[in-house]
C-alpha cells in the first residue's frame, strides 16, 4: 500500500478493530461493532465467546468477525484449538487468529509447530475462512521468529501476526520486516500490540504490514487524516 496516496477508507480497511478484555460486556461489543460499521474497518477482533452476538450485530455489512483462538497463551493442544476455531466458524466467524504453541517453538519442536499450523490452516480453509498465526514475538529470538515464518511460508496461512497485545511488548517495525522478508508475497503480515497512533502505524505499514490490530483504530484514522491535511 502506497502511504502517499492512501485514503482514510483504505487505511480503515486494513484495521482489525479490537476488544479482547476479560471484562467485555454486551455494551462494549455493541460499541465495537457500531464503530466498525461506521468506519469501514476490516474486522472486529474478539474472543470466541461473543462471536455469535457480534455476527448478528454486523449482519449485512462487509465487516468480518474475527475470533481469537487459544488466546492469549497458545497453551492448548491442537485438537482443542481446532474445536474452538470450528465452533467460532459455526457461530459466524469469518477470520481466525490463533496463538501458536510458544513453548513448543522455543524448545525447537518445529515439527509440532508445522503440524499445528497445517491442521489449523486446513480447518479454516475448508470453510474459506481467513487464518492468522500469532507468534508473540516478545518471547522469541529473531531466529525463532524467522523459523516460524519459514514454516508459514511453506504451510501458507493467510497472515502471520506479531503479537497478542498481552505479552511484555508488542509489534516492532523490525520484526514486521523480518517476518515479511521471510514469508515473501504468499503470506501477509499483521502487526498488533502497542499500535496506538498513526506514526507507529505508518512505520508498521512501511515495514510490510497489511493488517493492523488495534483498539485505537478511530484515533489512528483521525490522526492520519489530520496529517494528510497538513501536508
3-class DSSP assignment, residue 68:
strand
3-class DSSP assignment, residue 15:
strand
Q: Tell me the C-alpha distance between 74 and 43, whole Å.
A: 21
- Give catalytic residues, as residue numbers: 97, 161, 190
Q: Tell me the C-alpha distance between 40 and 62, whole Å.
A: 8
The C-alpha cell at 98 is 490463533
Whether residue 99 contacts residue 72, with contact meaning beta carbons closer than 8 Å, is answered with: yes
The full DSSP string for 130-154 is EEEEE--GGGS-HHHHHHHHHHHHH
Strands (E), 55-178: 64-69, 95-99, 130-134, 159-161
The C-alpha cell 475462512 sits at: 129
User: Based on the number of CB atoms within 10 Å of its own CB, is 22 exposed (0-12), middle (13-18) or buried (19 or more)?
Assistant: exposed
CB-CB neighbours of 80 under 10 Å: 12
- Over the Cα atoms of the chain, what is R_g? 17
Q: Tell me the C-alpha distance between 131 and 121, whole Å.
A: 6
Amino acid at each position: 500500500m502506497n502511504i502517499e496516496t492512501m485514503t482514510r477508507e483504505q487505511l480503515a480497511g486494513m484495521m482489525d478493530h479490537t476488544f479482547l478484555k476479560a471484562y467485555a460486556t454486551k455494551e462494549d461489543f455493541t460499541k465495537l461493532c457500531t464503530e466498525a460499521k461506521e468506519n469501514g474497518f476490516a474486522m472486529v477482533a474478539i474472543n470466541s465467546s461473543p462471536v455469535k452476538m457480534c455476527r448478528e450485530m454486523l449482519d449485512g455489512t462487509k465487516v468480518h468477525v474475527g475470533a481469537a483462538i487459544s488466546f492469549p497463551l497458545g497453551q492448548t493442544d491442537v485438537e482443542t484449538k481446532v474445536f474452538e476455531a470450528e465452533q467460532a466458524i459455526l457461530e459466524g466467524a469469518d477470520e481466525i487468529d490463533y496463538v501458536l504453541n510458544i513453548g513448543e517453538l522455543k524448545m525447537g519442536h518445529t515439527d509440532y509447530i508445522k503440524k499445528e499450523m497445517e491442521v489449523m490452516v486446513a480447518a479454516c480453509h475448508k470453510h474459506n475462512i481467513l487464518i492468522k498465526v500469532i507468534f508473540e514475538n516478545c518471547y522469541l529470538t529473531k531466529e525463532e521468529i524467522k523459523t516460524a515464518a519459514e514454516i508459514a511460508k511453506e504451510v501458507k496461512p493467510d497472515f502471520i501476526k506479531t503479537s497478542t497485545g498481552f505479552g511484555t511488548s508488542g509489534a516492532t517495525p523490525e520484526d514486521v520486516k523480518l517476518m515479511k522478508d521471510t514469508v515473501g508475497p504468499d503470506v501477509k503480515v499483521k502487526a498488533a500490540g502497542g499500535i496506538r497512533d498513526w506514526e507507529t502505524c505508518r512505520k508498521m505499514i512501511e515495514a510490510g504490514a497489511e493488517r493492523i490490530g488495534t483498539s485505537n483504530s478511530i484515533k489512528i484514522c483521525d490522526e492520519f487524516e489530520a496529517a494528510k491535511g497538513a501536508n
